[in-house]
Structure 1
Amino acid sequence: MNNRFPGLRRRGFLAATSGAAALALVGCAGGTDDKAAGGSGAPKRGGRLRAAFAGGGASETLDPHLANLFADVARAKALFDKLADYGADLSAEPRLAEKWESNKTLDRWKVTLRQATFHDGKPVTAKDVLYSYRRIADPKQAFRAKASLEPIDLDASRATGERSIEFVLKRPTAEFPNVLASFGAYIVPENATEFDKKPVGSGPFRFVSFAPGRSAVFRRYDDHWDGAPLLDEIEFVVANEESARVNALLGGQVEYAHELNPTTARAHEGKGQIEIVRLRNSAMQAFCMKTDRAPFDDKRVREAFFLIADRQELVDGALSGAGEVGNDLFGKGYEYYADGLPQREQDLDKARSLLKQAGAEKLKVTLDTSAVAAGFTEAAGIFRDQAAKAGVTIDVKMGSKDSYWSDILDNGTLSCYRSGAMPIEAHISQRLLTDSTTNATKWHHKDFDALYQQAQSIRDKTERAAVYERMQRRLYTEGGFLIWGFADWIIATARTVKGVETKAPANTLDWARFDKVWLA
């Protein structure tokens, strides 16, 4: 395997990048209008599919609570399952949880498990769920889902039956199903601690072998609650360089290649040799303005910057056209997205007027960027040239790839920013509340915090949506995120691969979901 896929240098981090952590990355197909790539046709059973992902070297693990790379998550969702997962619009869909219901005050939730078994034949029980969540929440550990489970009082929560759990919450949480669907919140057997030698999960595939940094082989689990996969086996192979993944696909060594850049995709799209699949709205692309310091503590300056941006030029230049324009709001196409607001267009005359009103006619500002994410350096250069037309001088400063996210969290005034798929509610709670730990725009408004708490106290979904829209209207008017685009996430498959979901953002349920794929 090392000879076939040499070099483990470029890691495929999850694309929701915020603060010091590289978090989660997000459907339509290239080359087909069908829901699933490869078109329709009767599914076939059998065969081994080989999927190439960028890896993490010898430190890789199958511990699902430590999943951080795309390869980690793809392997974890094959072996394990969660109580819920995110659908294409980032709303929570039941998985191991058959149903959930809350009390009137939304601070206690009863979750009923479906009848499901682990790979050793033992049933998935409430004790397994509580053990898993308490393991994730262990203050001595650094598990990714820990912050997402924070609303739960795990000391007070209890099993009320073999397949029922009462979760006691610290405060009303209308969007509690999002907690169940949190990235990394996988259910493992009670007392499980060893995951790399012979892990036992409840996912659609069971463990066969694992060589960190090289390969993992899993076999179909015939008794999976959602039906046995069509494939006999799935093999995850490590090919860290994009060229290695593409060449392996073209050479017939793999059937699925994850993470292609737009230039490579264009070179092969429509040529008939491989299929290109584009997962739309996969990564929010933005400039982050610090609202607590000059010059962006003046909302007129922030509005001027909104109007300086030519979003289509940024998408065409920084993303090579592989994306669509944004409207300064996170979560385009997701549940609760305020799609009724007018699309913001470049207006240099109004931008100059606003800057003059703010006493910032000859504004000079530093824009922090880095090669840490695709398109960042290109976006910085394009925006610098756009700003010059409004009389603004932007000094582009290159930062370290290793420390960029921690560097820009509290420092500087303007920076390139990216985020992947998460519910709009999670984006607000993690990045826009006064006490949010990854509040990169320093958006600190108690009345905005109160609106979020109000939304979480409302049982009626329509009424709750109205509060979220009110919050988004304010961010659209005076927020600190200049969200100029949403990038496609691109994968490629052999023409024999069928059933790849094309309408699901990356890191949602149907991304890298190999239990529904088959080989023609």
Structure 2
Amino acid sequence: MTVHRRHKCFHLITALAMGASLLALSACSSGAAADPAGSAAGATPKPGGNLRVGIVGGSAKDTLDAHAPVTHPDEARAIQLYDTLASYDNDHKIQMALADTVSPSADGASWTVHLRDGLKFSDGTPITADDVVFTFKRITDPKAPMAGAAALSTLKRDALTATDARTVLFPFSAPYATFPDTVAQYTSGIVPASYDPKKPVSSGPFVLDSFTPGQQSVFVKNPHYWRAGQPYLDKVTIVDFPDDTARVNALLGGQVDAIDQLPLGQVNVVKANPAMKVLESSTGSWLPFTMRVDQAPFNDPKVREAFRLIVDRKQMVDQVLGGHGSVGNDMYSPLDACFPSDVAQRSQDIDKAKSLLAEAGKSNLSVELVTSPAAAGLVEAAQVFAQQAKAAGVTVNVKKVDPGEFYGDQYLKWNFSQDFWFTRDYLPQTAASGLSGAPYNETHWDDQEWLALVTRAQATTDEAARCGLIKQAQKIEFDRGGYIIWGFPNSVDAHSSAVIGLVPDKSGIPLTSFGFRNVWLNK
């Protein structure tokens, strides 16, 4: 896979602190060079056109809020509308975006962010340090904390300061080693101090034209976007498709130009069509089964271990993903440099699962598993698990609901369910789903030994020492956490051959990870 960096130059500057190391990030140019796949191959980007994209999921509860995306369409909208201070390249490496430097203090307890020169919102007003302060105060508002709030729990919010028009000081109550990861998350998009999520002003490549929740969103080119010459498209239309068949038919019938999460049974059909292309990316995405550790029967760690031993992971990857992915080992963030790949692979052990259930007094257990076509593979995985569980004497009653209900009032309350996650490193992922105050703590995980390790890791500036702590924390989740992580699916998307500029991307969302700013239409 060819990795295309989005800047002419990118530096990692090592700052020694207390005998350890922190990374300060900087971009060597205040401008941005486009390097999409087509131009790298010698093609010249063609401006104009309307890209129509079918995205899985969506409901009447869809949102435009920069800091509260839940579903795939929510995330796609956020990425079109809002740029972040830093971002990731196709290989999941951090690079600069609205900021041109992100630098730690000597002890790592504060970070200084410096904005690029000449940045503007879509209405032509300058993007300033005051807007950055507002954005992060909004995210961390104790009365209404947003999706990124848990990752910033040690931020001294009242001391967050704009030291000049382009510089912001982020002070923390302890060293914060992974701050650049936090500001690169798509839930940290920069908004103006006058922000109204119902009438969003954009810092990203596109501006909202219209929005019908559960149906579609239309965006037009941001005339003040900071990346020179981008986006190439005049318009992007995102269409919600809860139904896989309808989404594929829309692509094959020419109603849309691209779709995410191509059903794997349709890969060969699309490949056989000379007017279509399949885009496959290896990623760190994961589709967990979620067990609430605070509710019976999953409040017993023996039951949780038994359920992990029920799974035939290779069969799951082969049957659910059609081989388009890799086997998991009940630990997430496989692309993190600290991932404990030396932990022995857990495999199916029906006899031990039966024994553990008997010890817990849960032989012949019957449970309900709530699933939804909210992401490709969820429903199929639920059905395969239900079949595998029979061998252990467990009856799994699969309850399929639509995405609107799945992410409705009961979301995070389901006792035994599923979810989807895109690529994140370990500590940012814990802030999203693991900490007791995390916005999406679907397993209701609250383990004090684990929390102490994660807290220490977040404050540890030496990478080797931080990795040691992360590996210990991962092992605790492996042993007694609330997730069953059976595999890491490749991202398999499809598009018309007239769509140029899409490339494989480890984020798990290659169609939207760069806000379609590199894409153009050759028609």
For this structure pair, what is the TM-score category when the shorter chain's length is used for normalisation?
0.7 to 0.9
Q: Can you list the C-alpha shifts for 1:82-108, whole angstroms capped at 9, x where unaligned?
A: 112244565543211222222344332
289-298 vs 449-458, which deviates more? Answer: 289-298
Q: Would you say 1:176 and 2:186 are equivalent positions?
A: no
Kept in 2, the 8 Å contact 1:90–1:334? The answer is no
CA distance in 2, matches of 1:66, 1:437: 9
CA distance in 2, matches of 1:296, 1:256: 40
Structure 2 letter corresponding to 1:201: S
Assess, with a 3 A threshold, how the Cα gap between structure 1 residues 265 and 451 changes in structure 2: closer, same or farther: same
230-239 vs 452-461, which deviates more? Answer: 230-239
Shift in Å, 1:450 = 1.0
Kept in 1, the 8 Å contact 2:383–2:398? The answer is no
* Other-structure match for 2:159: 156
Structure 2 letter corresponding to 1:228: G
Kept in 1, the 8 Å contact 2:38–2:45? The answer is no
Quick one: which of 120, 125, 131 aligns to 1:128? 131
Q: Would you say 1:445 and 2:447 are equivalent positions?
A: yes
Shift in Å, 1:481 = 1.6
Structure 2 letter corresponding to 1:306: R
Structure 2 letter corresponding to 1:456: Q
Assess, with a 3 A threshold, how the Cα gap between structure 1 residues 340 and 280 changes in structure 2: closer, same or farther: same
Paired-residue identity, %: 31
* Other-structure match for 2:422: 420
- SS of 2:308's partner is helix
Kept in 2, the 8 Å contact 1:204–1:229? The answer is yes
CA distance in 1, matches of 2:396, 2:245: 33
* Other-structure match for 1:341: 343
Shift in Å, 1:147 = 4.5
Assess, with a 3 A threshold, how the Cα gap between structure 1 residues 398 and 66 changes in structure 2: closer, same or farther: closer
Structure 2 letter corresponding to 1:77: I
* Other-structure match for 2:232: 231
358-367 vs 474-483, which deviates more? Answer: 358-367
* Other-structure match for 2:316: 314
* Other-structure match for 1:6: none
- SS of 2:329's partner is coil
* Other-structure match for 2:210: 210
Structure 1 letter corresponding to 2:460: I
472-481 vs 134-143, which deviates more? Answer: 134-143
Q: Would you say 1:303 and 2:305 are equivalent positions?
A: yes
Show the 5 A alignment for 1:331-480: 331-352=333-354, 354=356, 358=359, 362-371=363-372, 373=374, 374-390=376-392, 392-398=393-399, 400-401=401-402, 403-404=405-406, 407=410, 409=412, 412=415, 414-434=416-436, 436=438, 438-480=440-482
Q: Can you list the C-alpha shifts for 1:184-235, whole angstroms capped at 9, x where unaligned?
A: 3222233243764xx543333456x4364555242364x6443322624132
Kept in 2, the 8 Å contact 1:172–1:456? The answer is yes
* Other-structure match for 2:30: none
* Other-structure match for 1:191: 194
Quick one: which of 95, 98, 102 aligns to 1:100? 102
Q: Can you list the C-alpha shifts for 1:374-419, whole angstroms capped at 9, x where unaligned?
A: 54444334223323324x322425265455566474564x444443
* Other-structure match for 1:273: 275
* Other-structure match for 2:14: none
Quick one: which of 489, 501, 507 aligns to 1:505? 507
CA distance in 2, matches of 1:175, 1:123: 28
Assess, with a 3 A threshold, how the Cα gap between structure 1 residues 397 and 247 changes in structure 2: closer, same or farther: closer
- SS of 1:50's partner is strand
Structure 2 letter corresponding to 1:431: S
Quick one: which of 482, 485, 497 aligns to 1:483? 485
* Other-structure match for 2:46: 45
TM-score normalised to structure 1 length: 0.79
Kept in 1, the 8 Å contact 2:202–2:222? The answer is no
Structure 1 letter corresponding to 2:290: C
83-92 vs 492-501, which deviates more? Answer: 83-92
Assess, with a 3 A threshold, how the Cα gap between structure 1 residues 504 and 275 changes in structure 2: closer, same or farther: same
Kept in 2, the 8 Å contact 1:128–1:187? The answer is yes
Q: Can you list the C-alpha shifts for 1:11-45, whole angstroms capped at 9, x where unaligned?
A: xxxxxxxxxxxxxxxxxxxxxxxx95999332323
Assess, with a 3 A threshold, how the Cα gap between structure 1 residues 87 and 463 changes in structure 2: closer, same or farther: farther
CA distance in 2, matches of 1:125, 1:508: 29
Assess, with a 3 A threshold, how the Cα gap between structure 1 residues 177 and 219 changes in structure 2: closer, same or farther: same
Kept in 2, the 8 Å contact 1:39–1:498? The answer is no
Kept in 2, the 8 Å contact 1:498–1:517? The answer is yes
Structure 1 letter corresponding to 2:172: L
- SS of 2:386's partner is helix
CA distance in 1, matches of 2:195, 2:434: 36
Kept in 1, the 8 Å contact 2:82–2:190? The answer is yes
CA distance in 2, matches of 1:466, 1:121: 47
Q: Can you list the C-alpha shifts for 1:227-275, whole angstroms capped at 9, x where unaligned?
A: 3226241321435355554444334454323343222333212432201
Structure 1 letter corresponding to 2:504: T
CA distance in 2, matches of 1:457, 1:60: 36
Q: Which runs of 5+ in 2 are unaligned?
A: 1-35
Shift in Å, 1:372 = 5.1
Q: Can you list the C-alpha shifts for 1:91-133, whole angstroms capped at 9, x where unaligned?
A: 5432112222223443322111122421455442211211223
Structure 2 letter corresponding to 1:422: R
Kept in 2, the 8 Å contact 1:204–1:515? The answer is yes
Q: Would you say 1:514 and 2:516 are equivalent positions?
A: yes
Kept in 2, the 8 Å contact 1:87–1:508? The answer is no
Kept in 2, the 8 Å contact 1:286–1:416? The answer is yes
CA distance in 2, matches of 1:47, 1:408: 40
| CA root-mean-square deviation | 3.6
